[in-house]
Amino acid sequence: MIFTELGLEGVHLVEPKVFGDARGAFLELFVGGRLTEATGRTMDVAQVNCSVSRRGTIRGIHLTAAPPGEAKYVTCVSGSVVDVVVDVRVGSPTYGKSVAVPLDDERRHAVYIPAGFGHGFAAVSETAVVTYLCDRVYTPHQAISINPLDPRLALPWPAMDDIVLSDKDRDAPTLAETEALGVLPDHAALRAQVPAGSRG
């Protein structure tokens, strides 16, 4: 398993070793100890989510209010998506910056997303199945949504003829509007929760 930080503090691409033979393939999708060894962070899985999306669907941008926040470990088990992570930690030097990572059922890569970051993805195959491990159980009153088409963010979504959004995501506030509400996570407060050796 190879962990590579993606230019946003604590956000890592995870490349598992895939063992293939005549029967198919096997891989270790998630190993908590290896994540801790590579990132200095621990992740106790509290909930596993699975979403099925048709081509053109964008889900996000979503996060959980911090504290406590929510870490995610995301992979695409069928089809392909473009996974997007955006730094929405107020006071962060990379505030408003984003990274996009292709995830698919061939390379079997994953993305580890610490608490404090917004997350979303776009389905680029006819059908895409995404699973994500979460270190918190979903709590509706702590959920935050940011409009995935916010022109200020200019997120690197793939070119798609028809974009499919939920009403919730379509009507979500922009990053600036969400910041004005005072609900976004604080960079300094989140850093204080992370061991000094793993802060980058």
Residue that the structure tokens 């022109």 belong to: 151
Q: Please, are residues 116 and 88 in contact by the beta-carbon 8 Å criterion?
A: yes
Whole-number Å distance between alpha carbons of 120 and 81: 10
Active site residue 62: yes
Instruction: Please answer whether residues 83 and 100 qualify as being in contact, where contact means their C-beta atoms are separated by less than 8 angstroms.
Output: yes
Instruction: Considering the candidates 12, 62, 109, 119, report the single residue annotated as catalytic.
Output: 62
What are residue 49's DSSP bridge partners?
Answer: 132
**Residue 109 is a catalytic residue:** no
Those residues with Cβ within 8 angstroms of residue 84's Cβ, 6 or more apart along the chain or in another chain: 60, 61, 98, 99, 100, 101, 119, 120, 121, 122, 148, 155, 156, 157
Write down the catalytic residue from 12, 109, 112, 132.
132
What is the C-alpha separation between 74 and 38, in angstroms, rounded? 17
Catalytic residues, by residue number, are: 62, 132
